[in-house]
Structure 1
Amino acid sequence: MPTTGPDTAVPDTAVPGATAEDADVWMRAHRPRPSLRGQIRRVVGFAEHAGGAVHRRELPFGGVPIILSFGDQVRISSATGSGTYTSFVAGMHEIPVDTTHDGTLRCIQVDLDPLGAYRLLGGPMSELHDAVVPVDGLFGPAWRDLGERLAELPSWPERFELLERVLGQCVQDGPRADPEVSWAWRRLAGSHGAVPIGELAAEVGWSRRHFVARFRGQVGIAPKPAAQVLRFARAHQLLTAPGARSISDVAAAAGYADHSHLIREFRRLAGATPSQLIAAVAPPPVAGAGQLS
């Protein structure tokens, strides 16, 4: 789903690997209050109605999504296992994930910054590495049945208001990341994974071993694979942005050693070549797009 402005309805963009046809898709983006914006990247209300099952491949992106379903279920499969979920959180991934629903999906998606997820969840993020966990099994009482409670409210503003109350309480009560880890993550994310890990450890004044352990526990994965995910996300963004760019140009711009290196990383992180991902991106649907009520 695309990033949008506050409380705006937009047509969904095509997701690589989506196979549903004649689907009606609605979205409503919400800008969280200022106190939450350092923790949360995006909040989007989402509703999809298709004539049959919808299959998508979700790619690593350097964030932690929470899906708060209004009762609809999603089948999730990856190299680490499979299962059927209603509301769930997906930790930092460095592998692709395939999702399937039966044609109807109504939910709110909350994309968290990894350090925001650490603060909201209050536990070692490394336990969520490449994992999907039901919301009810992970969070405290405030999160229990939250998707159903959101669905019962009559309007999207009321749903977003309830969500913000829950998020605000979790942020207030949750642990703060080490300043050193926070600085290193921002530096790594701001460079799209281009800063050497040894340099980050030296600049925070920690041994490399201690730095890696603290980073993994609070971000979710070790610094080196985190850098690889960030670099991949940047390359994928460049490849699928409007305007033709060669794969070699994207490899150079994203910091890969060469064309072949980029292709190997795409096969590992996305389960597809760059050309296959580009081919999977279709024009966004227009018919049926509209305002969520």
Structure 2
Amino acid sequence: MITEKTYMPEQPFFQLSTTDYVSQLSLCDRGVAQYYSFVNLNADNDIIAVPDGTIDIIIQCSGNHPRAQVCGSVKKGRQVQFELGVKYFGIRFFPGTADALLQCPLNLFTDQEVLLENVYDRADELAERISNATSFKERICLFKKYYAKRIRENSSVSTLIPYLINKINKSHGDIKVGDLAEDTGYSTRHISGQFSRAVGISPKLYSRIVRFQRCLGLLWGQKQLSYASLAQDSGYYDQAHFINEFREFSLCTPAQALGTSIQ
């Protein structure tokens, strides 16, 4: 089993760059980490998506045409376009769990946004129903019903991928693929191939992302931290390594992300 509580993915710019943002964590629905909703009021229509190792389903609930998109894992920080003044409803899955819904290798979606109707024929009905719902709570209930019916079609569960994810999560990303291979008895090639298909990214990149996500939690939780202490507490080699990777994954410095000064 995946001990999902050891890793909660963060997308801070979705909240910082939007209005009417609401969120509900979900540790009971199989594989679902979070439900959220927002309205984009950013003039250039772009919101920064940071790597978190997850797959999201984002449904446009207002505007010209309701639609549902699969948003795959991103390998680097990426600016994602959302229509101005439009309400969106999102479902974020824990790493390695969205295949229960999508029923295809998750690396097909990496760094891409794909219409859900191209994956599942009746997905347009889901988008229409959620768009017509009048509350955040009602949208969650509608998706839960859809999801429960959909995942019954896929009962097979691999034990290797949850085990690998759990090992990486517990180490806060401080583990090598060779160590995972030695621990499981599989080759590094086999582990990397299986992991990429099930999660969408390599185990090495996922480990880097888990470390970065830990850094985000420290950054928002303790605003007086210095660059040096952030680097050390997050498991980076040094301050330069920390800042370079933070820029790669967030498109900004820690100080810019926080909107304040860090020593």
Map Cα deviations across residues 120-179 of structure 1 (whole Å, 9 max, x no partner): 1111111112221112212342x2242222122344443322211111122222354521
How far apart are the structure 1 equivalents of 2:169 and 2:42?
39
Q: Secondary structure of 1:88's match?
A: strand
199-208 vs 86-95, which deviates more?
A: 86-95
How far apart are the structure 2 equivalents of 1:144 and 1:215?
30
How far apart are the structure 1 equivalents of 2:200 and 2:105?
7
Segments of structure 1 that go 5 or more residues without pairing to the other structure are 1-12, 75-84, 282-293
**Contact residue 17 and residue 57 of structure 1 kept, 8 A:** no
- Aligned residue pairs, count: 250
Letter aligned with residue 54 of structure 2: G
Q: Tell me what 2:87 maps to.
A: 106
How far apart are the structure 2 equivalents of 1:146 and 1:280?
41
Q: Tell me what 2:76 maps to.
A: 95
Q: Secondary structure of 2:111's match?
A: coil
Q: Tell me what 2:118 maps to.
A: 137
How far apart are the structure 2 equivalents of 1:175 and 1:121?
13
How far apart are the structure 2 equivalents of 1:135 and 1:33?
24
**Contact residue 68 and residue 86 of structure 1 kept, 8 A:** yes
How far apart are the structure 2 equivalents of 1:268 and 1:192?
19
What does 1:110-129 correspond to in 2, within 5 Å? 110-129=91-110
Q: Tell me what 2:7 maps to.
A: none
What does 1:216-231 correspond to in 2, within 5 Å? 216-231=196-211
How much identity, in percent, do the aligned residues show?
A: 22
How far apart are the structure 2 equivalents of 1:256 and 1:49?
34
Q: Tell me what 1:26 maps to.
A: 20
Q: Report the TM-score when normalising by structure 2.
A: 0.83
What does 1:258-269 correspond to in 2, within 5 Å? 258-269=238-249
2:55 is aligned with 1:64: yes
How far apart are the structure 2 equivalents of 1:201 and 1:43?
34
Map Cα deviations across residues 12-71 of structure 1 (whole Å, 9 max, x no partner): x765883xxxx7x3244446583x2x4000112x24274955432121122222111114
What does 1:208-219 correspond to in 2, within 5 Å? 208-219=188-199
Which of these residues, 179, 185, 190, is aligned with residue 205 of structure 1? 185
* 1:50–1:90 Cα change, 3 Å: closer
Segments of structure 2 that go 5 or more residues without pairing to the other structure are 1-11
How far apart are the structure 2 equivalents of 1:145 and 1:70?
13
How far apart are the structure 2 equivalents of 1:88 and 1:14?
19
Q: Which has the higher relative contact order, 1 or 2, with Cα contacts under 8 A spaced 6 or more apart? A: 1
How far apart are the structure 2 equivalents of 1:280 and 1:172?
48
How far apart are the structure 1 equivalents of 2:111 and 2:82?
20
What does 1:1-293 correspond to in 2, within 5 Å? 15=14, 18=17, 25-30=19-24, 32=26, 34=28, 36=29, 38-44=30-36, 46-48=37-39, 50=41, 52=43, 54-72=45-63, 86-141=67-122, 143-174=123-154, 176-279=156-259
How far apart are the structure 2 equivalents of 1:48 and 1:220?
28
What RMSD, in angstroms, separates the aligned Cα atoms of the two structures? 2.8
**Contact residue 216 and residue 222 of structure 1 kept, 8 A:** yes
* 1:275–1:182 Cα change, 3 Å: same
Letter aligned with residue 144 of structure 2: E
* 1:217–1:246 Cα change, 3 Å: same
* 1:177–1:151 Cα change, 3 Å: same
How far apart are the structure 2 equivalents of 1:268 and 1:49?
24
